[in-house]
Amino acid sequence: MVFLVVAAGCSSGITTGAGRDGPAQTAYPPPGGKGPIVLLLSGHSGPDYYQPIAAAVARLGYYAVLLDGKDILTREQDGRGNLRQAIARAQASPYALSDKTAVIGFSQGGGAALVHAADMPEVVSAVVAYYPQTNFVADASLIARRFQVPVLILAGQRDTYHNCCLIESMRAIERGARERSAVFELVVYPYAEHGFNLQRSAYYRGDDEADAWKRTVDMLRRYQPLR
């Protein structure tokens, strides 16, 4: 397998192409050399937009691995199998400390995190989903039936992007989670639209990004703590 280093904000990552051990990824070792695992699943636009976030997660002390969400929430591939392979590959890395991984997903990757990672309690510690895609199901409340790990959803009240991630579907997931007493929290930003935390987005909102990042870090500290 060929490895190459690519720039990502102020940090760099090690990019690996797709192969027998899993889908393409860019891995970000923590400054201390080893850390608990965090997998990040990009939106439909691909990993580039999310490289700075993955690098920031690594700077916290985690071994961060960025995947393309299209490889996980997909009808063309075995998305669930791809996620399991990516987790196993991360667990085998010399940069990894933990057996379990926290999963952070964005848009399409957020939907992937909810339907695949959230019911893998044997290998996943927690899920954070930013404006997750939900339009692949008729009743979004049914997604909550899969929750077996703590889940945090961060959503924009005004998100109407391709009708993929509507606030109504987030509320439906919340109702479903409450019905089964899942460990779940929905945070809604009243003036935010899709991609509100992406500085390259036309809908970027700095205050909402800061709050969402703090909540993400708190989630990691609680369920995927540094050692």
Domain spanning 3-223: CATH 3.40.50.1820:
yes
Q: How confident is the model at residue 4 (pLDDT cuts 50, 70, 90)?
A: very low
User: Which tokens sit at 124?
Assistant: 């996943």
pLDDT in tens, 138-190: 999 999 999 999 999 999 999 999 999 999 999 999 999 999 999 999 999 99
* pTM of the entire predicted model: 0.93
pLDDT in tens, 39-94: 999 999 999 999 999 999 999 999 999 999 999 999 889 999 999 999 999 999 99
User: Which tokens sit at 170?
Assistant: 């987030």
User: pLDDT averaged over the chain?
Assistant: 93
Q: Which residues pair with 104 in a beta bridge?
A: 40, 128
**Segment 96-119 mean pLDDT:** 96
Per the model's pLDDT, the better-predicted residue between 73 and 16 turns out to be 73
pLDDT in tens, 186-220: 999 999 999 999 988 889 999 999 999 999 999 99
Segments making up each domain of the chain, as ranges? 3-223
Q: Considering only CA atoms, which of 191, 179, 117 is closest in space to residue 155?
A: 191
Cα distances (angstroms) measured from residue 176 to each of 5, 20, 147, 155 = 43, 37, 10, 17
Query: Going along the chain, which residue ranges are E strands?
Result: 3-8, 11-16, 25-28, 35-41, 63-67, 96-106, 124-130, 151-156, 184-189
d(CA 108, CA 93): 26
CB 114 within 8 A of CB 146: yes
Q: How confident is the model at residue 111 (pLDDT cuts 50, 70, 90)?
A: very high
DSSP letter at 159 equals -
